[in-house]
Amino acid sequence: VTGEKLCRAQQELHFQAATYLCLLRSVRQHRALHREYHGKGERSPEEVAGLVGFRLPQQPGGKG
């Protein structure tokens, strides 16, 4: 085996390692973004009103 073949194999391993590292970083970043921005499902009217700074009116007799 010549030195040229060894050098090529070494460069190939370095390229594969760098590609795998890029994949791992991208997956980690995707998970963080998904956790931060993924919807949490439907919200109740009270929650939505609270998000925009409103309060829902109270019904007479303590209902609602």
- Give the number of domains in the chain: 1
Whether residue 63 lies inside any domain: the answer is no
Whether residue 31 lies inside any domain: the answer is yes
Whether residue 57 lies inside any domain: the answer is no
Q: From residue 47, how far is each of 2, 11, 40, 63 by CA, in Å? A: 70, 56, 12, 17
Give me the pLDDT at residue 31, please.
97
Per-residue pLDDT reduced to its tens digit, 30-52: 999 999 888 778 888 888 888 88
Regarding predicted confidence, which is higher, 43 or 29?
Answer: 29
Whether residue 25 lies inside any domain: the answer is yes
Whether residue 35 lies inside any domain: the answer is yes
Range of the domain at 19: 8-51
Give me the pLDDT at residue 5, please.
67
Mean pLDDT (the chain, rounded) = 85
Place 10 in a pLDDT band, splitting at 50, 70 and 90: confident
**Contacts (Cβ under 8 Å, ≥6 apart) of 51:** 43
Whether residue 19 lies inside any domain: the answer is yes
